[in-house]
Amino acid sequence: MEIYFTKEHEWVKVKEGVALVGITEHAAHQLGDVTFVELPKVGKVVKQFEVLAAIESVKAASDIYAPVSGTVTQVNEALEERPEIVNEAAEDAGWMAIMDMEDPAELQKLMTRDQYDEYVRSLG
């Protein structure tokens, strides 16, 4: 499964046209304790970099942007009961949505793990 990242600190894991979406460990750390996750509705259609979801923490509220265009087919309902899963495993159990991708070519606008790590280092 390939993983890509946005400059807004979302990740997307892609396999056979299906995209698993969440926020990065770096973003979860920056937010502090996550207190609420507003998940998208199943069936929601979003374009790349449009607002997909929202997240609240002790420090801030932030929009979560769709790394790719597509239709939401599943959400991580466990986050409604336990939003702290995002802090515990942002890039694994803390996933937020599964989407059917509209255009795999959009992945070229995203960063690889190495590129993302370099980007985060550049932020200081």
Domain ranges of the chain: 2-117
CA proximity to 53, closest of 12, 117, 96, 90: 96
Is the pLDDT assigned to residue 124 strictly greater than 90? no
Round to whole Å and give the CA distance between 52 and 70.
Answer: 10
Instruction: Evaluate whether 110 touches 12 at the Cβ level (below 8 Å).
Output: yes
Q: Which fold has domain 2-117?
A: OB fold (Dihydrolipoamide Acetyltransferase, E2P) (2.40.50)
CA torsion angle 32 38 44 50 (round to 10) = -40
Over residues 10-53, the pLDDT tens digits come to 999 999 999 999 999 999 999 999 999 999 999 999 999 999 99
Residues 65-111: tens digit of each pLDDT: 999 999 999 999 999 999 999 999 999 999 999 999 999 999 999 99
Query: What pLDDT, on the 0 to 100 scale, is given for residue 48?
Result: 98
CA distance 43 to 27: 26
Q: Which residue has the tokens 């600190």?
A: 9
Judge residue 114's burial from the number of C-beta atoms within 10 Å of its C-beta, 0-12 exposed, 13-18 middle, 19 or more buried: exposed
